[in-house]
Amino acid sequence: MPTGWPGSPLMLLKMHGDEGWTVFQRRTDDGTSFYQDWAAYKDGFGNNINFWLGNEKLYYLTNQADYKLRLDITTSDGTSLYSEFTEFQIESEDTNYTMNKLGSRTSPSGTAGYYLSFNKGEPFSTYDRDNVPCGNFNCAEKHRSGWWHWNDYCSYCHSYSYCYYFHYSSSCTSYCTYENHNGVYNGGNGEMIYSYQNTYCNVQYVEMKIKPTS
């Protein structure tokens, strides 16, 4: 029960050794669509196999204490990786659930979530509530996911076909994030779950979880 939370208990706990983590995101297969609207991401959706806990719950959780973030992924070739970040916090809906804290990556276990730092300071966006000031396209629509997208390169016209790019014209590709854990499961170009730019495309499994630092 987060401090001040008006609803019923909500935590999904997972143990790693003797540590308990609150899981707020999990993808295991294509049984649940993550191409959801603002209300769904705010309140949460899915089941115990594939789910998003909910941005409002995540706000209450990460503002009652200092939290760290853990990311686990299984790559397309079956390799398991994880990373931990020393801080994680999102702001309230008034600021569109901006990811205002993301600490340094402390895990020596590989490059899972390596580029998540680019999403720090960005508001959350969904296809029906685009909070990314990019005039060329709707990032959440193109990446088929609710996420903390960013717009640093959205005005550029590229010709690359890496998995984190999408077509926005007949001759141009672009992107809004190097990390996308809420995309279409095993989707097409620019619509899949990926991590570390184009290094880990078509991720088989991803889980995001938080834990108080003290």
- Cβ neighbors of 33 (< 8 A, separation 6 or more) are 184
Residue extents of the structural domains in the chain: 13-122+201-212
pLDDT tens per residue across all 214 residues of the chain: 677 777 776 656 666 666 789 999 999 999 999 999 999 999 999 998 999 999 999 999 999 999 999 999 999 899 999 999 999 999 999 999 999 999 998 866 677 888 999 999 999 999 999 998 887 889 999 999 999 998 877 778 888 888 898 888 888 888 999 999 999 997 655 568 999 988 999 899 999 999 999 7
Task: Decide: residue 47, CB within 10 A, 0-12 exposed, 13-18 middle, 19+ buried.
Answer: exposed
CA atoms within 13 A on the CB side of 10: 24
Kindly report the CATH number that applies to the domain delimited by 13-122+201-212.
3.90.215.10
